[in-house]
Structure 1
C-alpha cells in the first residue's frame, strides 16, 4: 500500500495534487525593489517543483504597495508585475507541480521606508493610522483583483494570508475595536476575510484553487475563536483548503498548556475542504505524524529550504530527516538559493549558516 504522504489529494474543485507534501510560503527577499520577480526567485521555486512538491507556493506577495513588509518582497499589485508572474507560473507548470500565489498586506507590520507610503491598519497604533470604511472596501477589492491577476498569469490558485499578525489578522484580532461593520463583534472582525474569500471565488470561478492561511493563536486570536472561524471557512463552500500555521505541530496550545495545538483542529467539521498544517515538519516521521493525526496535507518550510527535493528524498528513504544546522552558504547555493536568500538566512536566522 502506498504511504499516505504519496497518495494523491483531490481537492473539491477536482484538481489533484500528486502527493500530500507542499511547499510553505517562505520569505526569501529575492525580488527586485519594485516587486518584480527575479531570476533567482523563479529558479528557487522551480527547483522545488522539480524536487517533487505537489504544490509550490510563493512567498507573500503584496496586493498594495503600502502593504510591503520586507525587502525584496514580490508584488501582485500592478501590470508591472505581470510578466514575472507569468514566467513563474509557466515554469512551475512545466516542472509538474501545482502553483499558488500567496496574497498579503502587512498593515501595521509594513515598511514605509521601503514603500514610501504610510502604514494603515484596522485600528490606529504602532505608527499606523486606521483605515476608513471606503479604504477597507478598496482593500477587499484589491485582494480580489490580485487573485484575478494571478489567474491571468497562469497560476493554479492563490492563498489569502490571514495569519502571522499581518493586516487581515489585525482585522481578525480582538484588539480590532472599530465601531463600524469591520470591527468590534466577531461577525464584524471576520467580515473582511470572508468577503475577500467569497469575492475571489466569484471572480475567479469554481475551477480556481483557493486557500486561506490562519494563525491558531497569538496576535489577539483566541484558540476557541480560531476553531470557530476555521470551521466556518472550511464548511462555507468557497475554499479548497485551509492552511493552519502552527509554529510547531507538536506544541501545546498557549491558553491551556496541555495536549497538542495540532489536535485542536483535526476534529473540526471540514465539509469538502482539505486541511493542511505547517510547523517544524523536518522529517519523514513528522510528515507521517501530521497525516496520521488527521491532516490532509503538510506544508514544508525549513526542510524545503534545505532540500529542493524533500518529497523525493522522503520517498527514497522512510527515515529521511532534513540536514542539521548550520549548513554552508555553498550548500544553500546548491539547493538553488540565490545570494540574497543566502544572505537573509545568514543574517536573520542565527545558527542557520556557518560563519
Structure 2
C-alpha cells in the first residue's frame, strides 16, 4: 500500500511529490475581470508551501457566459495568462505541482454576474435558459481546450475539468433533463459524448508534459449510477486523462437511498481497472488517518477541502504524524484570516456554512 508521502508518477508531466491534493474551492477572491488577485495567490501559495502535491485553483470559467460567482477566476482570455504565470512560478518554487480547474456553469450560470445569456444543454423558459445549438456545443468543447492551452502557456502543470456538482459537463450527463436529439443527449452514449470530446480536445491541444484531470459527481444531479461506473471505466481506459477526481461529499458514504449494510459508494469505482490513470477521491478527509484510509482502500489521491481551509499545512502535518487531525470546526474568522483566506473568502465561507464559523 502507498504511503501519503510516496511520490506518484502520472501518465504525463511532473511526478507528484505525494498523494495529497488541494481540492478546488470556490473563494470569490479574483478581480472582477477574472484575473487572479494577490490574495488568491497568497491563499494558494500557503497550501503549496504547506506540502500539497497538487495545488489547484478554484473553478475558472472558460467562457464568460459560464460565470457563476462574482470574483470567479477566469481563463477565457489571454488577459488571464499573466497572473497565472506568476502562480505557476511560485507554486513550482514551493515544490508543488500546479493545476487550474476549468469550469462552465451552464444552466447554473448567473446572467447578472456574467452579463451574458444563460445557456445549457436544455432550455428552461421559466428561468430564461437558452438551449445551446449543436455548433455552440462544439464551440464550448473548443473553449475548454483553448483554456487548457492558456494554462499550459502560463506554465501551469495541468488542468482539471469540473464535471461535478451539476455544472455544464455534468448537465450533459443528466438523464432527467438532457433529451437532446443531436448526438449530445438522448441515450447514455449521447450524454457522455460531450465529456469525451472535451477530454480529447484538451489532450490534442496540449503537449506531452501537460497533466489533465477530470472531477466527476457520480450520483444525484440526474445521474444514473450504473452509467457513471461505465463512464469512469471508459475514461480510465481511454488514455486521455492523468487522473479522475470523484467528488463524493464523504468518502465513506453509502449510495443515496441504499440500505444500511450496503457497499460504500467508493467501492464500485476503486475496483475498476486503471490502465495507468490515477483515481482520486474527495469528501470528509480531515485527518492523516482519513487520507491513509483512502489509499489503503485503493485510491491513488486524496483531495482535501475543508481541512485545508482550517490548516494550510494539513498535508505537511499529515505526512509527518499519522495521528494528526485538522482543527475542528467551527473556527473563528480570525483563524481563517491567519490561514491566508482573503476577506471575500472568509465572508463567503461564513455566509454559506455559518455552522462552521464563529464570530
TM-score with structure 2 length normalisation?
0.96
Q: Which residue of 2 aligns with 1:304?
A: 308
Whether 2:272 is the aligned partner of 1:268: answer yes
- What is the deviation of 1:354? 0.8
Q: Which residue of 2 aligns with 1:163?
A: 164
Q: Which residue of 2 aligns with 1:64?
A: 63
Q: Which residue of 2 aligns with 1:208?
A: 210
Q: How does 1:211-250 map to 2 (within 5 A)?
A: 211-250=213-252
Say whether the 8 Å CA contact 1:69–1:109 is kept in structure 2: yes
Q: Which residue of 1 aligns with 2:335?
A: 331
- What is the deviation of 1:148? 0.2
Q: Which residue of 1 aligns with 2:104?
A: 105
Please list the CA deviations of residues 139-194 of structure 1 after superposition, one character each: whole Å capped at 9, or x if unmatched: 01110000000000010000111111001111111121001111111111111111
User: Counterparts of 1:127 and 1:320 in 2: how far apart (Å)?
Assistant: 49
Say whether the 8 Å CA contact 2:159–2:212 is kept in structure 1: yes
Q: Which residue of 2 aligns with 1:134?
A: 135
- What is the deviation of 1:13? 2.1
Say whether the 8 Å CA contact 1:108–1:127 is kept in structure 2: no
Structure 1, unpaired ranges of 5+: none
- What is the deviation of 1:3? 6.5
Q: How does 1:1-355 map to 2 (within 5 A)?
A: 4-13=3-12, 15-125=14-124, 126-174=127-175, 175-257=177-259, 258-355=262-359
TM-score with structure 1 length normalisation?
0.97
Say whether the 8 Å CA contact 1:223–1:255 is kept in structure 2: no
User: Counterparts of 1:269 and 1:151 in 2: how far apart (Å)?
Assistant: 29
Please list the CA deviations of residues 16-45 of structure 1 after superposition, one character each: whole Å capped at 9, or x if unmatched: 111111100011110111111110001100
User: Counterparts of 1:67 and 1:3 in 2: how far apart (Å)?
Assistant: 38
User: Counterparts of 1:155 and 1:317 in 2: how far apart (Å)?
Assistant: 30
Poorly superposed stretches of 4+, deviation over 3 Å? none
- What is the deviation of 1:260? 0.8
Structure 2, unpaired ranges of 5+: none
Please list the CA deviations of residues 169-227 of structure 1 after superposition, one character each: whole Å capped at 9, or x if unmatched: 11111121001111111111111111110111111022210101111101111111110
- What is the deviation of 1:235? 0.5
User: Counterparts of 2:188 and 2:104 in 1: how far apart (Å)?
Assistant: 21
Please list the CA deviations of residues 35-61 of structure 1 after superposition, one character each: whole Å capped at 9, or x if unmatched: 111100011001110000010111000
User: Counterparts of 1:14 and 1:3 in 2: how far apart (Å)?
Assistant: 20
- What is the deviation of 1:317? 2.1
Say whether the 8 Å CA contact 1:161–1:214 is kept in structure 2: yes
User: Counterparts of 2:191 and 2:246 in 1: how far apart (Å)?
Assistant: 19
Please list the CA deviations of residues 116-150 of structure 1 after superposition, one character each: whole Å capped at 9, or x if unmatched: 11100101124311100110011011100000000
